[in-house]
Chains A and B, each alone.
Chain A
Amino acid sequence: MPLNLQNVTFTYMKGTPFEKTALSDVSLQIEKGEFVAVIGHTGSGKSTLVQHLSGLLHPDKGSVTVDGVNLNAKNAAAKKARNSVGMVFQYPEHQIFAETVYEDIAFGPRNKGLGPDEVDRAVRDAMAFVGLDFDSFAKRSPFRLSGGQMRRVAIAGVIAMEPDYLILDEPSAGLDPRSRDAVFKEVMALYKKRGIAVILVTHNMEEAARYASRLLVISGGQVILDGVPHDIFTNHKDELLAASMDVPPVYKLADCLNAHGLPVERTPELAALEKQILELRRAKHAD
């Protein structure tokens, strides 16, 4: 059963001069087993959208349901539904609250009613997931870390809750290249192993192309494109550029090669592009 958004409209600061409609009439269904990347210009409504999916914001119009349960109801079923959605916030400092990294990550598992040993296991696993060394970081204050370290604590805290719907709002902002790759490798493994849904908000086109099975492009509070990433990056470049987006670097390299008379097909994987280049050279030498 899916996560469902039906005709959702949401306005911030209604009735003030700062009134801003951040989502207008958005309908959307996300199934378990999907990996959905959400891209769009700053202020397009991405964070507002995912905060509806996790029940943090209530729609002014329309409804949000998880597995058929209205997320915004005040009953046990709604609470359980909200707990099945885990979200890593765009700004990790909005999510971090405990005195130590350990306590911060342990909060979710404890809240779920796990015993001390299980909590300890969950914390250790989640720290390994994001590449935080247990002995160096468990006892540190999460507020006195570098930007990237703080983000990893926030991700670990959500992973430890084992959500069925994992929402990541710009998780790689501030992560160094190796941690970026490592976190995505772990997320992919989790996604494949547990068949969860992943909803990834990102400004990194490469991540959208490499990991997602579905791409949503948001602009001005509406979904303007919804499809397979490769198709959107190949056939909708102009719309993407108009929406302040771009195509991934590996697509640009393919375009550059094509423009100079080296015929290659666009692909999200650099290795696949390199293979084509090598074949072209082999063919040329054979002439």
Chain B
Amino acid sequence: MQNLIEIKNLEHVYTDTDGNEVKALDGVSLDIARGEFVAVIGANGSGKSTLARHLNALLLPTAGKCIVAGMDTADDDNLWNIRQHVGMVFQNPDNQIVAAVVEEDVAFGPENIGVPPQEIRTRVDNALAAVGMTDYAKHAPHLLSGGQKQRVAIAGVLALEPDCIVLDEPTAMLDPRGRSEIVGTVKKLNREKKITVVYITHYMEEAMQADRIIAMEGGRIKMQGTPKEIFACVEELHAMGLETPLAAQAAYDLRQKGVKLPQGIIDDEELTEELCR
């Protein structure tokens, strides 16, 4: 598979108002393949958002390289092109919607980059259909639930026809239904539309849905692997201030108490099946 994103020895140093320096990324190297679904986990301040903001050139490396779809993000000429390849969705559903009608909000991005009107129509319809919000095209965004607003925000990004969507804690402010709507939507876009996904979250049940999990600590990648590999490392995750999905924790605890259970249990069904043997 071809890499969509290639990051080499990436460093980012923020300079605070009074000149204090904070090294937020400290030598991150990471390749993300086209069509991959990568979850990023890590304690507060470990550098997740800083990394995410490099992917569409909201931040530029203070050292090292970030190459997106073959383009160096540090090269000014690539800026607009990169922003069309990589869309971002943030935490707060209320801050991301600009228009008074859902479909106008989704059309905003393509209008901005000069997509012809007929094509905008198609793009908006497709984007709303992809997130399951077609019925709400004419609605006022402020009357939607948090999960619906986030889906509109995702549709706004989709209307730019990106290769990759970066979501920075998109479910942090959502109720349980909203959360499962977003995770389901993202998974579907990844599977059916082959959109590359980078998904930052503090919820391990969400990270578990990814192909690969990156665990960050102190501006570096501390661990990476499939969900089954990562969530087998219960002690390492605890040491990093993280946790595992409940079933993985239960399997770990029961194993400590002498119950024979195989490695790689991460969901309730798997655990139950093993316990029923």
Q: List chain A positions with a Cβ less than 8 A from chain B.
A: 18, 20, 39-43, 90-91, 139-141, 144-149, 152, 170, 173-180, 203, 205, 244-246, 249-250, 252-253, 256-257, 259-262, 270-271, 273-274, 277-278, 281
Contacts and interface: CB of A to CB of B under 8 A. Distances in A.
7 contacts: A41-B146, A42-B146, A147-B169, A148-B43, A244-B178, A249-B205, A278-B257
B135 interface: no
Contacts of A144: 14, 16-17
B175 A245 contact: yes
Nearest to A205: B176
A90 B95 CA distance: 14
Given A176-B42, A179-B44, A141 B176 contact: no
Interface of B: 14, 16-18, 20, 42-45, 49, 91-93, 140, 142-143, 145-147, 169, 172-179, 202, 204-205, 241-243, 245-247, 249-250, 253-254, 257, 259, 268-269, 271-273, 275-276
A200 B16 CA distance: 33
A262 B276 contact: yes
Contacts of A262: 272, 275-276
B16 A141 contact: yes
Contact of A270 (B45, B147, B204, B246): B246
A204 B176 CA distance: 8
Contact of A176 (B202, B205, B257): B202
Nearest to A46: B175
A252 B267 CA distance: 11
A42 B43 CA distance: 26
Contact of B275 (A139, A170, A257): A257
Contacts of A147: 44, 49, 91, 169
A278 B254 contact: yes
A141 B146 CA distance: 30
B259 A278 contact: yes
Contacts of A179: 43-44, 241
Contact of A146 (B16, B44, B146): B44
Given A147-B169, A173-B91, A260-B272, 11 more contacts: A144-B16, A149-B45, A173-B173, A178-B242, A244-B145, A244-B176, A252-B268, A253-B271, A274-B250, A278-B254, A278-B257
B250 A270 contact: yes
Contacts of B45: 145-146, 148-149
A29 to B, nearest CB: 25
A278 B250 CA distance: 11
A65 to B, nearest CB: 30
Residue among A146, A245, A271 with the highest chain B CB neighbour number at 10 A:
A146
B242 A176 contact: yes
Contacts of B250: 253, 270, 273-274, 277
B201 to A, nearest CB: 10
Contact of A246 (B176, B202, B273): B176
Contacts of A271: 253
Contacts of A253: 246-247, 250, 268, 271-272
